[in-house]
A and B are shown apart, each in its own frame.
Chain A
Amino acid sequence: MKEVVADVAVLVGLVVCTLAVIGVWRFPDVYTQLHAAGKAAFLGVSMILLAAALTAGGALWPRAALIVVLLTLTSPVAAHVVGQAALRRGEDVYSGDDG
């Protein structure tokens, strides 16, 4: 049972990480790329760390939890700072194919 849950978690994590990279590839400006990378990569990494802790157990649990908590706190801040810096530098804001 534990194995199956870990397999599913790592699969979901890989799919979400892939979506993050695809988003960074395809989206036209920094702000939309931040939307993809800031959320998806964090969620994917959290799922993969959960799978790792489920597999090996023991001493991995507190460290994995610590990393997830840390990423929860820092990932939005980092995304905000990058977006703010890009806006202050006047980087292009994508306004659709017509605009």
Chain B
Amino acid sequence: MGSTVVVVAIVWLSVLIAAAVVRLIRARSLGSRILAVDLITLLLIAILGLIAAREGTAGYLDAALVLALLAFVATTAVARSYGGRGPFS
């Protein structure tokens, strides 16, 4: 894919992240907030993938991998805490 496509895609994903942040701030419940943070992290992973394609280096995908792992752990921990249970119960 051409460099123009990559730049346009990164800009569009940034717009999506901004929309998700607005949604995060205006969410009606804490569940919606956890969900919005998860969505923002997924979009960030997509942006990191596009930057890796643009630069041709795999290091950005390492960061994306770590972000995916951390997002899962964080979402699970926060959601279980919110549901009134501990992480191991």
Q: A residues near B, CB below 8 A?
A: 3, 6-7, 10, 13-14, 17-18, 20-21, 24-25, 30, 33-34, 37, 41-42, 44-45, 48-49, 51-56, 58-60, 63-64, 66-67, 70-71, 74, 77-78, 81-86, 88-89, 91-92
> Cβ of A56 and Cβ of B31 under 8 Å apart?
no
- Inter-chain contacts of B32 with A (CB < 8 A): 24, 30, 33
Given A82-B35, A88-B84, A91-B29, A48 contacting B42 (CB threshold 8 A): no
**For residue A58, which residues in chain B have a CB less than 8 angstroms away from its CB?**
58
Q: Which residues of B contact A10 (CB under 8 A)?
A: 1, 5-6, 9, 50
Query: With A30-B35, A63-B64 given, can you name 20 additional A-B contacts, CB distance below 8 Å?
Result: A21-B19, A21-B23, A25-B23, A37-B39, A48-B46, A48-B49, A48-B50, A51-B53, A59-B58, A66-B65, A67-B49, A74-B69, A77-B76, A78-B71, A81-B83, A82-B34, A82-B75, A85-B83, A89-B82, A91-B31
Cβ distance B8 to chain A, nearest Cβ, rounded Å: 9
Q: Mark B27-51, 1 if CB is under 8 A from A, else 0.
A: 0011110111011001101100110
Q: Which residue of B lies closest to A45 (CB)?
A: B46
B contact residues around A52 at 8 Å (CB): 49-50, 52-53, 61
Number of interface residues of B (CB under 8 A): 46
SS of A interface (majority)? helix
Whole-angstrom distance from the CB of A63 to the nearest CB of chain B? Answer: 4
Residue of B nearest to A37 (CB): B39
